[in-house]
Amino acid sequence: MTSLLGDASVWSALSSGLANGAEATLSAALVGRWLGKVPDLSRRRDLRVFVISAACVGPALGAAIGAGVPWLIGETPVWPRLGRWYVGDAVGVLVVAPLIISVVRPPAKPLFKLSESWTFAVLAVALAIAMPWSWSAELGLPFALIPVLGLIGMRMGTRAAAAGVFVVGMLVETLTALDIGPFTTGGAFSGLLVAQTYLATCAISSLTAAALMTGLVSRDDLALRDSLTGLPNRRLLLERLAQACRRMGRFDTGIGLVYADLDGFKQVNDVHGHAAGDQVLAATAQRLSGVVRGNDTVARLGGDEFVVLLDDLADDAALQDLMGRMTDAIEEPIVLDEGPTVRVGASLGAAVTRNADEDPEEFLERADHAMYEVKRSSRRTALA
């Protein structure tokens, strides 16, 4: 319809619509076939599939149809129409689609944090200096934006990188179409081709930087967190315990550890299977996280063993109160995905220290011994 309103022929308008529809359909089909979901562009594999299917294969098909059909009916020659069409559509995908995808499938990291908004201020200043002026191309100023966008992606994630690329893309395309800015030295139309190539570089580099940084952070998380529940593992617990001991040396407080071992967990596995056991562990982790303070740590050491670290412990009464809330939370019935309801209990052992020099491993072992004393007795909790 837009082509017809712009005085294009019916054949040209139909070929444009066919080309744009075909490339979008093919891109969506390829992404769906290869991933089976909306891509998460913070994952390198998903980003690779998106670039290949949506930014390469799809626009290539659209360009072949859009450039080939008008050529067959005697309009503009297939070359350079083919190249211009492909570059324009591919850049359009790279500039617009990542922002849409990041809204449909929001990543774990927010769009931006107030404390990190200075990076957007740097981007705004760089845009104001580099983009409105034709002489900025002679100094290479537009290319200074590429590392700025990469920094945004590394610090704030894929959605922030997509937002930055979208802002840069809209500004560059608009200024160049108006024959303003660093990409208009060869005329507005030729300048658009250069601008689009520039924007493709900005988009790929910033999204790749965000994905690589996310991968590094995820790799670190895997080394410090339990893969099933997402809770800190033994290594991270001991690190936080050592930090708490150092803080305790400066303040007149104590540290508490509660060691919990689930009762009846083996029966859940035997009767309902290991998938049901995993659901029980995940539910227990969520419930324990809900009964502690924000500065406390809930960790899973493996199997059905959990530990809660209470930082800045005022007295033993606070520890006893927490153990009661932990017991109530664990004993709440759990509805499995398959339908049945199961219940588990817990044996809780606790230890307290006010000695900043106590070895974290030995402190954890004291809480472990207290838990096993509970297992051997009829009590539900014990404090070492």
Q: Which residue has the tokens 């005697």?
A: 74
Instruction: Give the residue, 277 or 21, on which the prediction is more confident.
Output: 277
Q: What pLDDT score does 380 carry?
A: 57
CA–CA gap between residue 166 and residue 95 (Å, rounded): 5
Higher local confidence (pLDDT), 275 or 90:
275
Q: Do 188 and 110 share a domain, yes or no?
A: yes
Are residues 130 and 210 located together in one domain of the fold?
yes
Most confident residue range from 93-107, 191-205, 218-232, 293-307: 293-307
Q: Are 165 and 275 contained in the same domain?
A: no
Of the candidate ranges 188-192, 241-245, 358-362, the one whose mean pLDDT is the lowest? 188-192
- Is residue 162 one of the residues assigned to a domain? yes
SS3 of residue 259 by DSSP: strand
**184 belongs to a structural domain:** yes
Higher pLDDT: 311 or 190? It is 311
Q: Domain for residue 324, yes or no? A: yes
Structure tokens at 155: 């610090």
Considering the chain, what percentage of its residues have pLDDT values greater than 90?
A: 15
Q: Do 74 and 107 have their domain in common?
A: yes
114 and 173 in a common domain: yes
* Judgement on whether residues 241 and 217 belong to the same structural domain of the protein: no
State whether 199 and 260 are in the same domain: no
Are residues 167 and 256 both part of a single domain?
Answer: no
Instruction: For residue 250, give the CATH number of its domain.
Output: 3.30.70.270
Residue 330 confidence (pLDDT): 93
The contacts of residue 214 (CB under 8 Å, 6+ apart) are: 42, 43, 107, 157, 158
268, amino acid identity? V
Q: Are residues 70 and 147 in the same domain?
A: yes
Among the candidates 224, 255, 287, a domain finishes at 224
Number of domains forming the structure of the chain: 2
Mean pLDDT of 47-66: 79
Torsion (CA) 302, 303, 305, 311 in degrees, nearest 10: 20
On whether residue 326 sits in a domain, the answer given is yes
Residue numbers of the domain that contains 324 = 234-383
Burial environment of residue 265 by CB neighbours within 10 A (0 to 12, 13 to 18, 19 or more): buried
245 and 97 fall within a common domain: no
Q: Given this model, what pLDDT does residue 313 score?
A: 81
- Within this chain, do residues 211 and 238 fall inside the same structural domain, yes or no? no
- Region 45-69: mean pLDDT is 77
Q: How confident is the model at residue 76 (pLDDT cuts 50, 70, 90)?
A: low
Does residue 203 sit in the same domain as residue 264? Answer: no
Which of the four pLDDT bands, split at 50, 70 and 90, describes residue 56?
confident
Domain's final residue, options 224, 246, 270: 224
Selection from 148, 179, 172 nearest residue 92 by Cα:
172
Average pLDDT over residues 9-30: 68
pTM: 0.51
Please provide the average confidence, as pLDDT, over all residues in the chain.
78
Reported confidence tier of residue 51, pLDDT bands at 50, 70, 90 = confident
Q: How confident is the model at residue 193 (pLDDT cuts 50, 70, 90)?
A: confident
Residues 92-139: tens digit of each pLDDT: 788 788 888 877 766 554 545 545 566 667 777 777 777 777 777 777
Is the residue at 229 inside a domain? no
| 21-35, 162-176, 270-284, 334-348: least confidently modelled range | 21-35
| Residue at 279 is within a domain | yes
| Confidence (pLDDT) at 113 | 52
pLDDT beyond 70 at 383? no
